[in-house]
Structure formats: C-alpha cells, structure tokens
Amino acid sequence: MDEQKIKILQAYDKIFEAAITKKVSQARIKKVMKKAQDAFWAVVAKEFKEVEYGDMDPMQTMKMEKDMMDVINVWLENNYEV
C-alpha cells in the first residue's frame, strides 16, 4: 500500500474515533452489531446455497466488525435523540 493511501486510511480512522458515541454504551452497540452480522451472513448463505463452508479470514472478520461498529456509532451520533 502506498504512503498516500495509508495517510487517507489514518485520516478516516481519526474521523471515526471522534464519532464514537457516548449516547449508547459500546457493549450495547457491539451486541446489535453481532446480531446484524449474523443476519448479514444468513442472507449471504441463503443466496449462495451452493457454497458448503463458511470459512472467513480472521483479519477480514476483525475488519468487518470494526467497520460495522464505526458505521453504527456514526449513525447513532447523527440520529439518536435522547
């Protein structure tokens, strides 16, 4: 990965770090994220019945979970009214 792409990714990380909401606990967000992830994979498995296994690269799994947490945090920060 070239230096410019690394800098862009680091900038995005800073944006998302700043958007971690304090309106809802991170434990609750993680619980919702896990349910959403299960639903996502259920749809994928249903649509690709010919696939026999559900193996996923651990690094991709961690990235997906982080990205989902980031998106949920931003969504809550922008839309959650107490």
pLDDT digits (tens, 9 = 90+) for 31-69: 999 999 999 999 999 999 999 998 999 999 999 999 999
Q: What per-residue confidence (pLDDT) applies to 48?
A: 97
Q: How is the chain split into domains, by residue range?
A: 16-69+75-79
Q: What per-residue confidence (pLDDT) applies to 15?
A: 66
For the segment 24-36, the average pLDDT, to the nearest whole number, is 95
**Both structure tokens of 68:** 């989902």
As a whole number, the mean pLDDT across the chain is 88
Distance, in Å, from the CA atom of 47 to the CA atom of 66, rounded to the nearest integer, reads 25
Per-residue pLDDT at 25 exceeds 70:
yes
Contact indicator for 36, 65 with CB cutoff of 8 Å: no
The torsion of the CA quartet 41, 47, 48, 52, rounded to 10 degrees, works out to: 60
Under the banding of pLDDT at 50, 70 and 90, the label for residue 17 is low
